[in-house]
Structure 1
């Protein structure tokens, strides 16, 4: 930890020295000659996101609103500080089903009839999979309380049919349907609350013998904290979902779009605009990212082909970049900045024999109060994406 904090400080000082200019109160965007940036064939003109609206957009946007309200695994138990999946999209709809043990995705729409929108987050106790407990939390909104209760019953019954187990009582939540599977070593719990359905999955793959008491305690806390947090969630009337805004201040439209090869196997477009809070489940180290976001005043995060953060002010970009670099420093080595973009901070895989997929070439750059993280399959691609992303942020300004 001492090394990590020292590295953070060194990076922050170096970034500040390389970007500071003007008065001592703030930093300003350095002068970059846009015409000299090699952006390859990547787009450099902002998109009108409204033209991408579909019949599914309203549910996806409402999912983000739910995600902005509910607790994350590490907030329920600080031991769940990791999130190992590379590109998590917490939005849950009938077309993008929740992850539930022993329930096939194709079965979910029929079992969860009346689903409006939902949110999913996950966490692990250890950085590497299957060496410690992991959790998944789903918060699903239905059209009414009856639909939520029906879905809870049908999902729990189907799960028990496929994977029989022992009935468990969750203290403080007597109406919850909970089942411990000795074979899969998982505790799955469903709780209907008004028009919401809460699902908590927790597993312990390593303890011998398994003590279910900590798993039950986590589930109890997850239900209690989720119900309390949902008091701050105001459901958008179903007939108004289609009018929820797709973009805020044009940030998503200024983010590099997804390429065909970046699309998910299901074909679902993962492009989305998040608040800082709803962006945390997509971060590898959500607890560290929360501290970094709070420090830099991040309010919006755009996800598409690449990632863009909006901070409180120009000077905050320095600290955010330092924090983002620090989180992944173990697997990277520093490389030169892209041509004519001297203040970008770029890194390549430290050991190509073992970590190239986990640590692809990446660049961090700042424009005004925005920070962008771009990566490529090789260094040249990362450089061109960095140039294109800079042009998008600077376009018309």
Structure 2
């Protein structure tokens, strides 16, 4: 493939949007052994679960976003292929976003074969490599990127209405990509995957592979530091060894099933602080993921992957103002919270005195997405993280988040 504009996956851990305030309403009563959350200083933040003021409306457009999240939970992570492939990018896409996500050249093919939705992910061993700068040699950006001598792969998986449409789309995509430089490209076969269609340009350290699998079609691009075809084929095989069985286990969705998808299946967005009382879904702000999908969109959290797995954190809700995790049980939540802020990215910060089971840190590197202070709040088997550039605001967010968790029971 040539190039595709992709969102960076350099989203900071537990980022939140700073938005204007709204009125606060504190409800609920304390159970035995719990504080009365009405006594907490929550500022202007709401303290009721989102269902108190927002009702999700099913639509096909919303369903496509939810289907993309479901797909993300079943796409290969770079670290599954090689622990060094821990940096990356991602994007989800539906037909109306094809020019942005896939480039203008592919748009007619995907429309013709009625692509329903898709998700892209790329992984590299170089932090600043753009995994979707994939032009074979005649693109200046790609040449600059390849000067980093990365090992990487980028994969785009799309669902079509049926197997015939997926197979025809894959064939057309390969034909179009090969035709970019037919006098220089050479066909490549993968012994393990005879159904795959692949090509490379000798002297350029990349290879493109297209393969249909049931109702899914995948576009895979791989790259290694030097133009070694054997290494490229080996990397492609290792990616497909993981990806194709995962697709075999993921039943494709009918349009009606897409329409009726649940936007909060684990009921975690329900428990997230939501200052503006906003709905979703949006794949990076109002999203419900399994652990693998979450690690696609928050690559910096891969350092904590073992912590998630050991404590049964299988579902994550990325809300507008907080990220909410559900652990196996209360004890697992306590262990998870203890390890969550360990690592070189964090420095110490005092927790709020009045909010139970809360820890805070100061992020050593900040940006528009990474606030200066983050606090984790634990309630039963749930742990939520809120962030702010101001410590007092972080305290009020933590207090409101604790109240939301308590009031959601």
TM-score (normalised: structure 2): 0.74
CA–CA distance in structure 2, aligned partners of residues 239 and 276 of structure 1: 26
Partner of 1:135: 153
Partner of 2:246: 229
CA deviation string 1:272-308 (max 9, x = no partner): 1122333221232465443222211113211122210
Superposed, which structure 2 residues align to 1:202-281 within 5 Å? 202-204=222-224, 207=225, 209-248=226-265, 250-257=267-274, 270-281=285-296
CA–CA distance in structure 1, aligned partners of residues 277 and 55 of structure 2: 20
Residue 71 to residue 339, structure 1, CA distance change in 2 (3 Å): same
Is 1:330 equivalent to 2:330 in the alignment? no
CA–CA distance in structure 1, aligned partners of residues 315 and 151 of structure 2: 31
Structure 2: runs of 5+ lacking an equivalent? 1-30, 130-144
Partner of 1:111: 109
Q: Give 1:182 shift.
A: 6.8
Is 1:314 equivalent to 2:330 in the alignment? yes
CA–CA distance in structure 2, aligned partners of residues 370 and 339 of structure 1: 20
2:83 to 78, 83, 103: 78
Higher mean displacement: 250-259 or 289-298: 250-259
CA deviation string 1:5-57 (max 9, x = no partner): xxxxxxxxxxxxxxxxxxxxxxx997344233333333322223643433212
Partner of 1:35: 38
CA–CA distance in structure 2, aligned partners of residues 30 and 123 of structure 1: 46
Structure 1: runs of 5+ lacking an equivalent? 1-27
- 8 Å CA contact 2:118–2:157 kept in 1: the answer is yes
Partner of 1:166: 185
CA–CA distance in structure 1, aligned partners of residues 177 and 275 of structure 2: 35
CA–CA distance in structure 2, aligned partners of residues 37 and 163 of structure 1: 65
CA–CA distance in structure 2, aligned partners of residues 141 and 337 of structure 1: 46
Partner of 2:122: 122
TM-score (normalised: structure 1): 0.76
Task: Name the structure, 1 or 2, with higher relative contact order (CA <8 Å, separation 6+).
Answer: 2
Q: Give 1:96 shift.
A: 4.8
- 8 Å CA contact 2:287–2:318 kept in 1: the answer is yes
- Aligned pair count? 354
CA deviation string 1:211-242 (max 9, x = no partner): 34322212122223322222322223332322
Q: Whose helix proportion is higher, 1 or 2?
A: 1
Q: Give 1:370 shift.
A: 0.3
- 8 Å CA contact 1:331–1:359 kept in 2: the answer is no
CA–CA distance in structure 2, aligned partners of residues 351 and 285 of structure 1: 13
Q: Give 1:345 shift.
A: 1.5
CA deviation string 1:173-210 (max 9, x = no partner): 23423233579743222111222101222234xx3x44
CA–CA distance in structure 2, aligned partners of residues 321 and 144 of structure 1: 44
